[in-house]
Amino acid sequence: MNQLSKSAPLSGLEKLILVGLVGVTIGAFGVEQTHKGQTEIIALVFVALPLVLAGLVIARIRWMPAVAAAVAAIFILGAVLTAGELSYLTHPAATWAFVAIVVELLSCVLVLFAGIGATVQQYWISKRTTMRNG
């Protein structure tokens, strides 16, 4: 069980993570819809995973911000290393695909930095509490 009180409100960085994860979900869904209109089962993982992570962040599991940051980094790498997504990014005329990828990437960057910040914040809070208690 985590050391944070379950009744404690989410920190500002954790709220940013949640906003970012919702944005990643919206962007991933938009990207999925641009793939010739066919829904692939494996692609639904990229839509569901951020929602699951958001639920785990809300549950206040201690290392979830770090996990969310790591997943965001993997999503960013996947987006910039996939030829199809790079093609959409270099051709903004495909408006829906371009917007979906930009939303996904910006949300991933938000989750990455907010996740790192929240992890560091939680580490220092727990360290300070440990030092006070002796």
Q: What is the pLDDT of residues 33-62, one digit of tens each?
A: 877 666 678 778 889 999 999 999 999 888
pLDDT band at 6 (very low <50, low <70, confident <90, very high): low
pLDDT at 129 over 80: no
Q: Is the pTM of this model over 0.75?
A: yes
Token pair of 115 as six digits = 């996740």
Q: How many CB atoms lie within 10 A of CB 26?
A: 16
pLDDT value at position 1? 46
pLDDT at 24 over 90: yes
pLDDT band at 16 (very low <50, low <70, confident <90, very high): very high
pLDDT value at position 62? 84
Distance, CA of 36 to CA of 86 (rounded, Å): 16
pLDDT value at position 91? 80
Distance, CA of 102 to CA of 123 (rounded, Å): 31
pLDDT value at position 86? 82
How confident is the model over 67-111, as pLDDT tens digits?
999 999 999 998 888 877 888 888 888 788 889 999 999 999 999
Distance, CA of 64 to CA of 70 (rounded, Å): 10
CB 20 within 8 A of CB 111: yes
Q: Where are the beta strands (DSSP E) in 36-113?
A: none
